[in-house]
Structure formats: C-alpha cells, structure tokens
Amino acid sequence: MLTVAPPPPPDADEIAHGARVAAALRARIAAGNGWMPFREFMETALYAPGLGYYVTTRALFGAAGDFVTAPELSPLFAACLANGVAGVLAKTDGGDIVEFGAGSGVLAVELLPALQRLGAEVARYRIVEPSPVLAARQRERIDRDPRLADLRDRFEWLEAAPARQWQGVAIANEVVDALPVDRFRVTAGGCEAIGVIEAGDAFAFAPGAADAALAAAVALLQGALPVPMPAGYVSELRPGQRGWLAGAAQGLSRGAILVVDYGLPRAQYYHPSRDGGTLCGFRRHRRVADALADPGLQDLTAWVDYSALAEDGLACGLVMGGFATQAHYLLDTGIERELARLAGSAGDAARRALKQDAATLLLPGEMGERFKAMVLAREICGPFPGFGFRDLAVSL
C-alpha cells in the first residue's frame, strides 16, 4: 500500500504562531456558542490580519515552501500564457494586465517581458494583493530582475480589484481554490452544515443547522445535477465566489478574465463517487487530509466547480469564452514551440529539466487534466487562444 509521509513537525516559531491562530479561532467558536461555519474557520486560518497563512512571513511557494504552482515550476507556463494573453490584448487594442494573488511574483516577472517580446501593448501590470507580506516579496523580486529594468514603472499594486474602468486581461492563477468554502452533508430533508468545534487542544468537524443561504444553495445544486447527491453525501461549495468575481469584473469595460485552477464541471465534482469533497491542506509539499490541523501553518484548498464559475460569470455580465484542460490550453498556446525555443539556448541538463517540466504541465496524472483554464469575456468575441485544441464548454 502506498503511504504518504506526513509533513515535518513545526518548529518553535511555527508552534508559537499556530497557537496565536488557534486562540483566535477558539474565540470565534466561543462567540458562536461553541460552533462556527467552516468557511469562517478557513477565512481566519488563511487571511486574518497578522495571523492568516497568506499574511505571515513563512515561505509559502516553491521548493522551500508548501507547494509549487505552474509559474514556479517552469518558464514554459508563462511563455504559453503570454501567447494566449497577447491574443486577447489584440482584441482590445492593448490595455492592462491585472493579476490576482501574484504569490511570489514569478508569473509577473516572466509574463511582462514575454508580452513585450510578442509586441503586445501593455499599459500597466497591476497586481491585486491584499497581503502586505506577499506584496513586499513581489516588489523585491521584480526590483532585482534585470529583464524588468525598463519595465518597473509599469507595475502597480492594489489591495482590491480596480473599480475604475479599464480594459485588458485579468489573470487568476490558483486563486479561486483558496476562496473559503462551506461544508455540508446531504440529509433526507435537505442538508446540514458541517462546522467546527473545539476538541481538546485541537479542532473537529461537527454538524449544525444549515442557514437559509446554504440550504437554498444545496437545493439548487441538487436540482442541477443529473444524479442527485444521496443522503449522507459530504462535499463543499463556495458561497463567496460570485462576489469575488463581481469585484474582479467591476471595472472591466472590455477584455477578459482568465482563470487557471484545479477543478471540474459540476456533474463530475458532485458525482456519487466523490463523496467527501475535495477539501484538503498542503504543507511542505504534502497533501494533508485533515483540513483542521495546524491552522495558519498549512494552505487550505478545495477544487473549483467550473459550471458554477461560468454561471457566476454570466450573472456578472461576462460571457464564457472557452473551457479546456490545462494540457489542451498549453498545447493550443504553443508549448511545443516554446519548449524548442527555450531548449535551443540551454545546456543539456537544462533541456532535460524543461522536458520534464513540460511533462508535468501536460500529463493527465500530473497537472495536465486536474487543472483547467476558463476565459470569461466582456465586449469582445472569440475565438480565444488556448481553446482551439479542444473546448470542453459543452461539459459544463
């Protein structure tokens, strides 16, 4: 039987930080008469000012962190993304790039020079980053990269999505999966919420009454599924997704939002075989099944329901312009060509690494099928680069 080694134990600083996060969570649980919705637990553990996972000084990304995103893995990802984004910017006669949750800044560092090389008209590269710690790391990375010496004045940091009108392309790479989710269990009469209680020195899941919004959302979900979820079925949904997308799109007058994340169409997400949902943690490159363990010290994530994202886009005045696996998106935006270009000036070891990176980005058992790409457009029409190889919109 294949076993996965647990992540290394936290060090003294991490233990102290985890204790502060746990104290904040216990206070919220006490204020809720001993129970709190899981979405509040996730919101606090990830984003609470001065406490949350994404606002601490710990290393989060890359080999020294907890997980590796596609831009961290290889410059191939940004090179292909640049080809796709340039095609959209051609439809808007240029404009801004707005990147949500830029992480370490590696995508921005790779993407803007690639767009310049392609002749795309980029007025500003705007990073929406509510975490002051991550924003500082992004500035530092951009400042020290010699490729950006003549481009640094294009960068701008925002704490929230731009509200004033702009045109261009917004990018959300591995952002939606970290938006807080509600956990629920289907019952014979509807559903119950699965929240969080104290359990000695730790936390545990416990049932509670579903509020009106959760009950209505699960009922709507049941009606949209070809095979309804049976009684006892446990999963999650993302109540703040539409609000996030509305905010992201509020100032976009003409252009598109590109979302890349792991996820599934609704019928596959809530298939009877997927009982238990997709919620998990990540710490030191290990998947952690217990999402309540070590709050503030591990990433929390759940897959994206892309059918819901397409519906939310429509509600926000956006048109679904394409949906594809990451493999198909990268193939259509020229990963084979980019691999040949980058390998041509690399040594033997670097060429082998690039080929391995391409396999990781493309293969079904790696990132190729688990990750999907979706473009949501406003006032421009397709076809859009990335979705000509195989558009899976019919599966939504």
User: pLDDT digit string (tens) for 330-341?
Assistant: 999 999 999 999
Find the mean pLDDT for residues 1-13.
72
What's the Cα-to-Cα distance from 81 to each of 39, 295, 385, rounded to whole Å? 32, 33, 9
Q: Report residue 4's pLDDT band, with 50, 70 and 90 as the boundaries.
A: low
Percent of the chain with pLDDT over 90: 89
Q: How far apart are CA 109 and CA 62, in angstroms?
A: 15
- Give the pLDDT score at 326: 98
User: pLDDT digit string (tens) for 244-279?
Assistant: 999 999 999 999 999 999 999 999 999 999 999 999
User: Mean pLDDT in the chain?
Assistant: 95
Q: Report residue 56's pLDDT band, with 50, 70 and 90 as the boundaries.
A: confident
Q: How far apart are CA 78 and CA 81, in angstroms?
A: 5
Percent of the chain with pLDDT over 70: 99
Report the relative pairing of strands 252-264 and 304-305 from DSSP bridges.
Answer: parallel
Q: How far apart are CA 29 and CA 35, in angstroms?
A: 5
Residue 350 has pLDDT above 50, yes or no: yes
Contact (CB, 8 A) for 359 and 71: no
Q: How far apart are CA 106 and CA 70, in angstroms?
A: 10
User: pLDDT digit string (tens) for 191-233?
Assistant: 999 999 999 999 999 999 999 999 999 999 999 999 999 999 9
**Radius of gyration over every alpha carbon of the chain, rounded to an integer in angstroms:** 21
Phi, psi of 258 (to 5 degrees): -105, 120
20-29, 58-67, 384-393: range with lowest mean pLDDT: 58-67
Q: Report residue 3's pLDDT band, with 50, 70 and 90 as the boundaries.
A: very low
DSSP helix/strand/coil, 69: coil
Q: Which two tokens mark 278?
A: 């997709």
Q: How far apart are CA 36 and CA 295, in angstroms?
A: 15
Find the mean pLDDT for residues 376-382.
96
- Give the pLDDT score at 64: 79
Contact (CB, 8 A) for 166 and 98: yes
Q: Which residue has the tokens 């980019």?
A: 338
Residue 158 has pLDDT above 90, yes or no: yes
- Give the pLDDT score at 2: 41
Q: Which two tokens mark 104?
A: 């370490």
- Give the pLDDT score at 225: 97
User: pLDDT digit string (tens) for 278-296?
Assistant: 999 999 888 999 999 999 9
Q: Give Cβ neighbours of residue 149 (< 8 Å, ≥ 6 apart).
A: none
User: pLDDT digit string (tens) for 72-115?
Assistant: 999 999 999 999 999 999 999 999 999 999 999 999 999 999 99
Domains in the chain with CATH codes? 70-178+242-267+304-395 (3.40.50.12710)
Residue 348 has pLDDT above 60, yes or no: yes
